[in-house]
Chains A and B, each alone.
Chain A
Amino acid sequence: MRATGLLDHPFREAYAAKLGALPGATQAWVDGLRQTARGILNASGLPGPKIETWKFTGLGDLAKVPFGPAACAQDIDVRDIPLGVPRIAGARRIVLVNGVLSEALSDVIADPAGLRIASLKYLLAREPQTLKPILGGLAASGSLPLAALNTAYMADGVVILADKDFPGTTLHIISIGAAGSDPVAFHPRHLISLAAGARLTVIETHVGLPGQSYLANPVTEISVAQNASLKRYVMVADDNDAFHLAAASVSLAAHSSLDAFHLGLGGGKVRQEVNVSINGEEADCRINGLYALNGKQHHDLTTVIDHAVPHGTSSQLVKGVVDGASHAVFQGRIHVAKDAQKTDARQLHKALFLSKGPAVDCKPELEIFADDVQCAHGAATGELDPNHLFYLMARGIDRDAARALLVAGFLEDAIVTITDETVRAAFSNVVQSWLKRRTA
């Protein structure tokens, strides 16, 4: 059976009608990328349950929503950044509405020396040669279904280019979904490229206006050159009627680092997929995360870390709390190639059930072909310890407050993996309010 997909849906025509108007359509190489992607989508549709890495996250319900492309239009008037978006002091805000850069909502300041920030749309139209070496190379449509969907319809996105030894700054990309009366789908493509020795911190916040049905399908291609380091903090707090299907592909050169944290609070159905290739020796990859789910939310964090060369390190701590009838998925594949001796890879996933209703699927996968490596992984699920609860209540703390303290305590060691203090405080606040809402 072919998986249901966007392309089977009547609005396929709506997409087809827009194809010629997509930015870069006149560039043969861009058109080629899109055609390849569409070919793959036409042949296999969206990933279905028969594909191993998608068996816990079905997309059948996606086909029931008549999404229209938000790709070329920006007809929704969003005047303010929603309140749920944390304010990160000192961070430059770059705002997208339905996947399209909004100059009105973004901080308009000159790029510091050594950093270039531009919209994908602008570069496709004016400087396609800048994009040619970095677009589509890491997130290839053939290997990444979500990238195929994105590539077929990508219309805008944020391109960030840091020159050699750029000393660092903090950018906050805020993505707002705002469907209006009809459901929309948007497919922003972000490119982050750090030259040798450059540093950068990028926060991505994904939110939606309440009660809106949209599909966010952001794809990010990240290349970190020698000795460069990227901190990437992603918060997905989309509306409960929204789908969020994101993929990031990261390439790490020698002595470079990725320090990532993925916070998952929502969306009706969310998949955050991260694929990292460690291509240079002594590169360090950290992908930590936290999710807190309620109601019928579905959240899937899927990571693939490919140690292709020796002396690489990777570490992952992912913690989640689940309530209501929510469904959490964590899949963590670590591949250590035959030559990747002295690799040190660690992974730990822990989930806490706040009620009997939720489901958690965890699938760690270690494929180790080198013989001199240190690899450790662990996974655990459980409930709050009644002895802990009693201890706190015996000191006068009511049941809800005691539970909130214990849940926060459970999540604490994940929170402290956020190395940027400002972001840590902001994300921690967001999690605290989630806990308060739960017990309110």
Chain B
Amino acid sequence: MALIEINNLHVSVQGKEILKGISLSINAGEVHAIMGPNGTGKSTLSNIIAGRDGYQITQGSVTFDGQDLLAMEPDARARAGVFLAFQYPVEIPGVSTSAFLKTAINAKRRDQGKPEIDAMEFLKLVKAKNKALGIPDDMIKRPLNVGFSGGEKKRAEVLQMTLLEPRFAVLDETDSGLDIDALKVVSDGVNALRDPSRAFLVITHYQRLLNYIVPDHVHVMAGGRIVKSGGKELAHELEAEGYAKYSTAA
């Protein structure tokens, strides 16, 4: 059985249908990529997986590890191992990044019956991960995402993913706004987590990221539907030809 199973998902926002029957099946150990033009519903799909409200799910289902994901609260999904690296992480003044990270780590540990993380252990862990991701140590002292540059925000998302060790991670345009060095660092962070028990859904507008995070499957999304699926060569084809030929499919 696939780790995540999306079946004929239809989603509307304020009466307007955005997702028009998405089906996608991702096995543990696999990396899938979704590519597609802006406004096609990629972030909508990510948000539905993570549990943001404000959407009407009119049809279909999402199953994660055999559980009905859509019936779970966002926090329960996260603790069960679902992670979304946001396209636009929000700035939260007054909440320090380190307090937030510790609370999130401990929420998961509590669910697993583990004791809270020790303060020293936490600092050591974050320091090690920061180093790998090129994040300055004092960033976690700052309020969550407040005043972070675009690149810092994306690194911080990957830091969170690395600390929370999800079983299924969706990366929603994590590459946008990153220069080539940052792109490599972020990709290394993702690749380090790849293992047979985990799955990734990498959403991107550009093929560039997929040179570093090499996917097993590539899907083209247009007009709220998956209009083509293939291997990693599909990404190169898109890069050469663009999305124009899929726009009629929408």
Contact = CB atoms under 8 A, between A and B. Distances in A.
Nearest to B81: A396
Contacts of B93: 409, 412-413
Contact of A390 (B52, B111, B160): B52
B94 to A, nearest CB: 3
A395 B92 contact: no
Interface in A392-414: 392-399, 401-402, 405-406, 408-413
Best-buried of B79, B104, B143, B164 by chain A (most CB within 10 Å): B104
A395 B90 contact: no
B143 A393 contact: no
Q: Is the interface of A mostly helix, strand, loop or mixed?
A: helix
Contacts of B200: none
A410 B50 CA distance: 25
Interface in A407-423: 408-413
B107 A390 contact: no
Interface in A371-396: 385-388, 390-396
A405 B103 CA distance: 9
A408 B104 contact: no
Contact of B99 (A386, A405, A413): A405
12 contacts: A386-B53, A388-B90, A391-B92, A393-B73, A394-B51, A395-B164, A396-B75, A396-B104, A398-B107, A405-B99, A408-B95, A409-B94
B168 interface: no
Contact of B94 (A386, A396, A412): A412
B103 A401 contact: yes
B103 A397 contact: yes
Interface string B78-114: 1100011010011011110001100110011001000
Interface in B172-208: none
Contact of A410 (B51, B73, B77, B94): B94
B110 to A, nearest CB: 9
Given A394-B84, A395-B100, A397-B104, A388 B92 contact: yes
Q: How large is the interface on B (under 10, 10 to 19, 20 to 34, 35 or more residues)?
A: 20 to 34
A388 B75 CA distance: 13
A398 B92 contact: no
B74 interface: yes
Contacts of A409: 92-95, 143
Best-buried of B77, B79, B84, B95 by chain A (most CB within 10 Å): B95
A336 to B, nearest CB: 30
A393 B90 contact: no
Interface of A: 385-388, 390-399, 401-402, 405-406, 408-413
Nearest to A411: B94
Given A393-B74, A394-B50, A395-B104, A408 B94 contact: yes
A394 B94 contact: no
B94 A397 contact: no
Contacts of A412: 93-95
Contacts of A396: 75, 78-79, 104, 107-108, 111, 164
A397 B75 contact: yes
A394 B52 CA distance: 8
Contact of B75 (A385, A398, A411): A398
A393 B95 contact: no
A215 B59 CA distance: 61
A314 B198 CA distance: 57
Best-buried of A388, A390, A395, A413 by chain B (most CB within 10 Å): A395
A401 B90 CA distance: 18
A405 B96 CA distance: 10
B43 to A, nearest CB: 13
Contacts of B89: 391
Contacts of A387: 90
A393 B92 CA distance: 13
B95 A405 contact: yes
A152 B146 CA distance: 53
B13 to A, nearest CB: 15
A406 B92 contact: yes
A392 B52 CA distance: 11
B94 A392 contact: no
A378 B104 CA distance: 34
A179 B157 CA distance: 56
Q: Which 6 A-B pairs rank lowest in CB-CB distance, beginning with the nearest?
A: A409-B94, A412-B94, A396-B78, A409-B95, A395-B104, A393-B74
A394 B74 CA distance: 5
Contacts of B83: 394
B74 A390 contact: yes
B180 to A, nearest CB: 28
Contacts of A408: 94-95
Contacts of B51: 390, 393-394
Given A408-B94, A409-B93, A409-B143, A393 B99 contact: no
A402 B75 contact: yes
A393 B74 CA distance: 6
Contacts of A402: 75
Nearest to A414: B94
